[in-house]
């Protein structure tokens, strides 16, 4: 086997180039990639934290909404078929009662519920 000096010089040149590439190219690139990965992980952690916070806020809003619904169900006014609107001593020819039908009351309750629901949605 004939080993001449050019093979040894080429091997030395190869190792010098490899060392320079590793020092000046690969190391900064690896550092940049690791930095970007750590930033991505921090952003994903922040997103997870925000989602958990939103879930807690949504649960609190739902709890508040159910509390309001329960309060209004307990304190719901009794339905009267006829509601007096004037004193007996008045001498005006106006009907003494106003007819309040269950459909009118149901519509009013639905409107009030919608308005309250919209206002509660915007509470933080």
Domain residue extents for the chain: 1-58, 77-124
Q: What is the pTM of this model?
A: 0.45
HSE-up (13 A, CA, CB side) for residue 61? 15
The proportion of the chain whose per-residue pLDDT surpasses 70, expressed as a percent, equals 79
Q: What is the pLDDT of residues 8-23, one digit of tens each?
A: 899 999 999 999 999 8
Q: How far apart are CA 36 and CA 45, in angstroms?
A: 14
């Amino acid at each position: 086997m004939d080993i001449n000096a050019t093979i040894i010089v080429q091997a030395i040149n190869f190792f010098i180039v490899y060392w320079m590439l590793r020092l000046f190219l690969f190391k900064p690139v690896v550092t940049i990639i690791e930095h970007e990965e750590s930033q991505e992980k921090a952003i994903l952690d922040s997103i997870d934290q925000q989602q958990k916070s939103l879930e807690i806020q949504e649960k609190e809003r739902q709890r508040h909404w159910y509390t309001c619904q329960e309060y209004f169900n307990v304190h719901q006014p009794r339905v009267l078929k006829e509601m007096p609107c004037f004193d007996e001593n008045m001498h005006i020819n106006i009907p003494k009662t106003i007819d309040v039908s269950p459909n009118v009351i149901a519509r009013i309750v639905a409107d009030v519920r919608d308005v309250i629901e919209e206002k509660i949605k915007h509470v933080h």
